[in-house]
């Protein structure tokens, strides 16, 4: 929603949101008085639904789009706090959660890019952005020492490799006609900040988990000052998306436009 909000505030932008629950999202758009966002319905895991969404998008955009931003992701609440050995005796949970994560965060990324590629090729800017996570960077993980979020992080790391493969294929075979970038965006602390700003309750366990994560993050970035708002994060993401160049195919960048995550 924050990405749509920011993009639609510029009347020159035509924003198409691919959503699962069109009624709920349209209600929110109406409440926010955002009139230039069009919604089409699809689930990332359904090639046929994505094909219909691409067709509906093409009808709204004369068959071309400038940017494809793949932001949707499955973030498992059940396993976020579990480490690899926490799955001893919970093997089914690990398998099921990794499969669900991979279906949306890896398979879904390939499905949507392949489905929308003809529209991107027909556009003039030709940027495909996949929102990743700094948690998928092994260097960051080793320094911060975060053993949790195993299935989410594993699926995001696989998505990064997938984007590298796209970058090699699309940029190398199509010369300067295709730009492609993988890109990390939001800070995990936003969730806590969001709950607090909305006056929603934050469980003590959640609060202490976030405090522990902040401590871990400071091993990586001693000056880490805590969360930024979703609005600030989206603004930074869009600034990076705007300036990335053909020289950056497949790069894994943060919302700061570099390979530093905090
Ligand atoms: N929040 C953070 O701190 C953080 C940090 C680093 C990276 N990121 C990345 O930033 C992106 C956005 O994160 P977020 O925190 O906004 O996530 P979020 O609040 O969990 O929202 C995820 C969105 O993805 C959609 N989605 C999930 N599965 C889908 C599917 N199979 N098909 C279509 N849509 C699906 C959800 O749709 P429904 O509304 O229909 O459920 C929801 O709108 C993600 O790629 C995430 O990995 C987030």
Q: Is the pLDDT of residue 102 over 70?
A: yes
Q: Is the pLDDT of residue 237 over 50?
A: yes
Residue with the bigger pLDDT between 59 and 200: it is 59
Q: Measured between alpha carbons, how far is 140 from 132 in angstroms, rounded to an integer?
A: 14
Indicate the pTM of the whole model.
0.90
Q: Check residue 196 and give its pLDDT.
A: 59
Q: Is the pLDDT of residue 261 over 80?
A: yes
The answer, yes or no, to whether any atom of ligand 1 lies below 6 A from the CB of 157, is no
Pocket test for ligand 1, best of 75, 159, 190 (most atoms within 8 A of CB): 75
Calculate the average pLDDT of the chain. 85
* Distance between Cα 174 and ligand 1 center (Å): 31
* Distance between Cα 175 and ligand 1 center (Å): 32
Average pLDDT over residues 131-148: 90
The 10 Å CB-count burial string (b at 16+, else e) for 88-112 is eeeeebbeebbebbbbbbbbbbbbb
Q: Which domains does the chain have, with CATH numbers?
A: 2-187+230-253 (3.40.50.720), 189-227 (no CATH)
The catalytic site residues sit at 133, 152, 156
Average pLDDT over residues 229-237: 82
For the segment 105-116, what is each residue's pLDDT rounded down to a tens digit?
A: 999 999 999 999
Average pLDDT over residues 82-89: 97
Residue with the bigger pLDDT between 245 and 22: it is 22
Residue with the bigger pLDDT between 13 and 61: it is 61
The answer, yes or no, to whether any atom of ligand 1 lies below 6 A from the CB of 106, is no
Residue with the bigger pLDDT between 73 and 2: it is 73
Please name the residue whose Cα sits nearest to atom 35 of ligand 1.
Answer: 72
Contacts 24+ apart (CB under 8 A), 142-150: 143/219, 143/220, 144/216, 144/217, 144/219, 144/220, 145/216, 145/219, 146/213, 146/216, 147/83, 147/84, 148/80, 148/81, 148/82, 148/83, 149/79, 149/80, 150/79, 150/82, 150/83, 150/84, 150/87, 150/94
């Amino acid at each position: 929603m924050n990405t749509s909000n920011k993009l639609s505030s510029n009347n020159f932008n035509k924003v198409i949101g691919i959503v699962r629950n069109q009624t709920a999202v349209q209600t929110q758009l109406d409440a926010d008085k955002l009139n230039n966002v069009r919604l089409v319905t699809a689930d990332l895991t359904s090639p046929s639904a994505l094909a219909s969404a691409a067709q509906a998008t093409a009808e709204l955009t004369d068959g071309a789009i400038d940017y494809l931003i793949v932001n949707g992701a499955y973030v498992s609440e059940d396993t976020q706090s579990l480490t690899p050995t926490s799955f001893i005796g919970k093997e089914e949970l690990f398998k099921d959660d990794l499969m669900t994560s991979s279906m949306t965060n890896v398979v879904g990324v390939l499905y949507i890019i392949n489905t929308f590629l003809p529209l991107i090729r027909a556009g003039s800017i030709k940027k495909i952005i996949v929102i990743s996570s700094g948690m998928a960077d092994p260097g960051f993980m080793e320094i911060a020492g975060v053993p949790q979020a195993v299935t989410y992080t594993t699926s995001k790391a696989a998505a990064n490799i997938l984007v590298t493969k796209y970058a090699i294929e699309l940029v190398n075979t199509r010369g300067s006609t295709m730009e492609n970038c993988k890109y990390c965006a939001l800070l995990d602390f936003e969730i806590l900040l969001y709950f607090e700003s909305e006056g929603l309750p934050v469980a003590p366990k959640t609060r202490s988990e976030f405090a522990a994560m902040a401590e871990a993050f400071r091993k990586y970035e001693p000056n880490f000052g805590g969360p930024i708002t979703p609005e600030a994060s989206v603004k930074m993401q869009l600034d990076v998306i705007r300036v990335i160049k053909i020289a950056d195919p497949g790069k894994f960048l943060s919302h700061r436009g570099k390979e530093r995550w905090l």
